[in-house]
Each structure stands twice: as structure tokens, then as C-alpha cells.
Chain A
Amino acid sequence: GQNIDQPTEMTATEGAIVQINCTYQTSGFNGLFWYQQHAGEAPTFLSYNVLDGLEEKGRFSSFLSRSKGYSYLLLKELQMKDSASYLCAVPFSGGYNKLIFGAGTRLAVHP
């Protein structure tokens, strides 16, 4: 089967760095997505990792270790607008865009 685990909530201070972890179990691996979702809105794409290592994109970076079934999203120079839920997702076995989502991590950024 497939399962995704990520912390439910995190808090951080404006200007700081925060790391959101995600562990997964899948019967096959077709990459891992991170999405940002503000309350009442649809998710927006942040990153896609299919190979091991760190991918940096501005203030956001995403890391993947396939052998450990582990990924993290790193947010630097936090801003108030980064307060949102961050969803880790992997494709269903055999597909790329049919996604199974983790429960999401609600990040609260405080002044």
C-alpha cells in the first residue's frame, strides 16, 4: 500500500528557517511533489523530486532520499505569507499525476 506521514502543525518566526519532513511508503516510486495550500484555496505546486538530493528554488528547497523514503521542504527567510498548509504527495502506483496526499503540515509564521 501507500502511506504518507508529515507533522500536523509547526510554528516558526518571521525571517527564520523551517524544515517540514515527509516520510512515505509506496509500492513503486514516480517522484514526490510538494504543494502549498492557503486556507480555502487550491494547492499550488512548489516542487517535484525524482532523484536523490537537494533541489533549490529561491527561498524554497526540497530534498529527497529514496532509500530512506524521506523528503523535506526547507523554507528560508520566512515571511508571514508563508503561513499555509504544506502538502507532500506521491503519485499512485502506475501514474504520475494521480496523487495521494499526506495530511498536510499547517505552518504558522509569527512576527
Chain B
Amino acid sequence: GAVVSQHPSRVICKSGTSVKIECRSLDFQATTMFWYRQFPKQSLMLMATSNEGSKATYEQGVEKDKFLINHASLTLSTLTVTSAHPEDSSFYICSATGGAGEGTEAFFGQGTRLTVV
């Protein structure tokens, strides 16, 4: 299958600072990327849909000014957690797809464990 690389895998930051997470599709062009958040022992919750060259679409309850998403190229989307607080500590995972058809598999990055202290 295709490879999606997410970086960093782990990050610890101080409360009030910003953290950028990168999601790259290594061997295909990702027209759409999705950002999910997963709290311990819970399932993945979709935060936003990132489309190359256009503004991201955020799910209800997700603050767009706090979670900045940029999808400047067909192989890279970034999620910036601004003014991070301890409650933002979570596992953030991106997925990418090059197609929109039925059964088109989305490929997941390795995830980023964010800890805000």
C-alpha cells in the first residue's frame, strides 16, 4: 500500500506554545487529507478535512483558529496546534487518499503523540 509519513511521532511542549505536525504522502498525490484526534481508550474523532489548495473543513466543535491546517501541496498537509493546553494532549493521526471513489483506501500516518505540560 501507499505510504503516509507523519512527523514528529512524539512531541512534548509547554502550555501556551504552538506545535506543528506534518503529514506527507510519500508515493502518491493526496488530494485530500484528514486529521483525527484520539484520546486514550477512545476511538478516532475526525477533526477536519484538508483539501489541497483550499481551506480546510472543520467538524463541529473543532476550533479552526486553534487547529490551523495548511495543505499547500499534493503531498503535504500540516496541523498546527496553537496556544496548546494540557487538554490538547492527545494522539493526532492523519490519513490521505489520492482518490474519491468507492472503496478507495485511505492510508494513515504513524500518528503524533502530543503532550502539553
Report A's interface with B, CB cutoff 8 A: 30-31, 40-45, 48, 50, 87, 92, 95-104, 106
Q: Given the complex of chains A and B, what is the CA–CA distance between A87 and B95 in angstroms?
A: 15
B103 within 8 A of A: yes
B57 to nearest A CB, angstroms? 9
Q: Given the complex of chains A and B, what is the CA–CA distance between A42 and B4 in angstroms?
A: 11
Q: Chain A residues with Cβ under 8 A from B45's Cβ?
A: 101
B58 within 8 A of A: no
Among A45, A95, A104, contact of B43 (Cβ-Cβ < 8 Å): A104
Closest partner residue, chain B, to A42 (CB atom): B108
B67 within 8 A of A: no
Q: Chain B residues with Cβ under 8 A from A92's Cβ?
A: 46
B87 within 8 A of A: no
Report B's interface with A, CB cutoff 8 A: 1, 6, 32, 34, 36, 41-46, 49, 91, 93, 95, 97, 100-111, 113
B20 to nearest A CB, angstroms? 19
Q: Chain A residues with Cβ under 8 A from B41's Cβ?
A: 106
Docked-complex contact B1 and A48, CB < 8 angstroms: no
B54 to nearest A CB, angstroms? 15
* The 5 nearest A-B residue pairs measured at CB: A42-B108, A97-B106, A97-B97, A101-B43, A103-B43
Closest partner residue, chain B, to A103 (CB atom): B43
Q: Chain B residues with Cβ under 8 A from A96's Cβ?
A: 97, 100-104
Docked-complex contact B104 and A97, CB < 8 angstroms: yes
Knowing A42-B108, A43-B44, the reply to whether A31 touches B102 (Cβ < 8 A) is yes
Q: Chain B residues with Cβ under 8 A from A101's Cβ?
A: 36, 43-45
Docked-complex contact A97 and B102, CB < 8 angstroms: no
9 extra A-B contacts, CB within 8 A, seeds A42-B110, A104-B43: A31-B102, A44-B108, A50-B102, A87-B43, A87-B44, A96-B101, A97-B105, A99-B46, A101-B36
